[in-house]
Amino acid sequence: MRFSNERPIFAQIADMLEDEVVAGRLAAGERLPSARELAASLEVNPNTAARALQILSERGVAGAERGTGYYVGDGAAERAREARRQRFYAESLPGLFKTMDELGIGMAELAARYEARGKDTI
């Protein structure tokens, strides 16, 4: 994994694992890699990996079971999606709306582009 200098590595690792949960590649009840396993596979400090797992626990995406590790929590995917929606509304939409205003792009045009995404005619 390539890490960006813009955000702490532990946050990027937490987001990567959360992506796996949201995509359904990690299901509720499934064990997450240990901090050591995660650190070895990503070539990071074990403390960094441990912090990433702690972040997932704080977000309600994972829970720790003493002696066995972290597991994906029940309802984790929906909790993660909802948190991401709220971040999108707060962080991304205002900039998008500002750019749309500056360029004279209306909602109808944006909706048409959205509907046409992935098709050859954009």
The domain spans of the chain are 9-76
| Model pLDDT, residue 2 | 87
Query: Pick from 119, 14, 114: which is nearest to 70 by CA?
Result: 14
Q: What span, in angstroms and rounded, lies between the C-alpha atoms of 84 and 45?
A: 27
Give me the torsion for CA of 98, 102, 108, 114, rounded to 10°.
Answer: -60
Taking only the tens place, the pLDDT of each residue in 41-54 is 999 999 999 999 99
Taking only the tens place, the pLDDT of each residue in 28-41 is 999 999 999 999 99
| Model pLDDT, residue 39 | 97
Token duo for residue 42: 């990503």
Q: How many CB atoms lie within 10 A of CB 44?
A: 20
Q: Is CATH 1.10.287.110 correct for 9-76?
A: no
| Model pLDDT, residue 120 | 65
| Model pLDDT, residue 41 | 96
Mean pLDDT computed over 91-116: 95
pLDDT band of residue 85 (cuts 50, 70, 90) is very high
pLDDT band of residue 118 (cuts 50, 70, 90) is confident
**pTM of the full predicted structure?**
0.79
3-state secondary structure of 65: strand
